[in-house]
Amino acid sequence: MHRVLIIDDDPIALNMMNLVIENLGYKTQCFSEPQKALDWLTQNDCSLVLTDYEMPHISGIEVLKAVKEQHQNIPVVIITAYSNLNLIREALVSGAFDFVEKPLNPKYVNEVFRLATTFNNVPTNYLPAIRNITPQHKDKAQDETTSNILNYYFLSDLVKAIGYEKLNSAILEFIQITDISMEKLIHSPQNLQTQLSFLHRLIGTAASLGLTQLEQHCHAMQQEFKNSDSPIPDQNIQAIKETYMLSCQRLKKYLSEVTTPSQDHSFQKIDN
């Protein structure tokens, strides 16, 4: 059975990816610290590396280059909540097999992993042709089931992929952790770096759970203040809290209306 090494500094996003990928039929090894993952890889083997792009201390591109220096045939897939052409170009030129945006669509990830593990020994110059085999992401902007607050299409796929109980447990953990962090951020003096770190983690988690509005709000604020000389004003943090609370309210309502999905999933697990 193939083993996937998963790296993401956000523990909740890491857990969500682990649940999805295990359900696809893979073994997993998870790390929230990139250096520990690279150290593990010097003594162990895996079939594929899935790494977040934006992480403190060591970026996804640096992870990619470190993996390729030691294990040329291990495919690396980079994930991010937000991408642009420069990031994609940098990743692919550095040898990434593919570049995937959060939230991870189980069907799409299943196909990417199947191709990556099948063609892991193919020369790099053939990768563009192989990537073209992979179906493109569903256009969220044109999806009727995607609202301004929640991505219902993704949540529906997620329930089918990992089951209601696991998803509900992950969401409760997210709310519990975020409630504590949010209150601390609001009621205790914080420096800008602490605030930006919080926004970074919240962006990754929100993207992994299909919380569209919260993800976009946090990203916009991160971009606005990342080069600031002073902390983010209290009213801006309070606005993030209001978006977060509304997102949680809608998410809880969605879960309360979800019935147990059938076992006839719309995608097939990979046969390893």
The four Cα atoms 65, 197, 109, 157 give a dihedral, to 10 degrees, of 180
pTM of the predicted model as reported, rounded to 2 decimal places:
0.80
**Cβ(181)–Cβ(11) below 8 Å:** no
Q: Does the pLDDT of residue 150 top 80, yes or no? A: yes
Q: Does the pLDDT of residue 37 top 90, yes or no? A: yes
**Strands ordered across the beta sheet of 27-31:** 27-31, 3-7, 48-52, 76-80, 98-101
pLDDT of residue 195: 93
Q: Which residue from 132, 102, 55, 64 is spatially nearest to 212, judged by alpha carbons?
A: 102
Joined together, the tokens standing for residue 113 give 């992993």
What tens digit of pLDDT does each residue of 63-92 get? 999 999 989 889 999 998 876 778 888 888
Whose tokens are 């600031």? That residue is 228
Q: Which residues contact 62 (CB under 8 A, 6 or more apart)?
A: 34
Cβ neighbour number for residue 33 with a 10 Å cutoff = 14
Q: Does the pLDDT of residue 146 top 50, yes or no? A: no
What tens digit of pLDDT does each residue of 111-130 get? 888 888 887 655 455 455 44
pLDDT of residue 15: 92
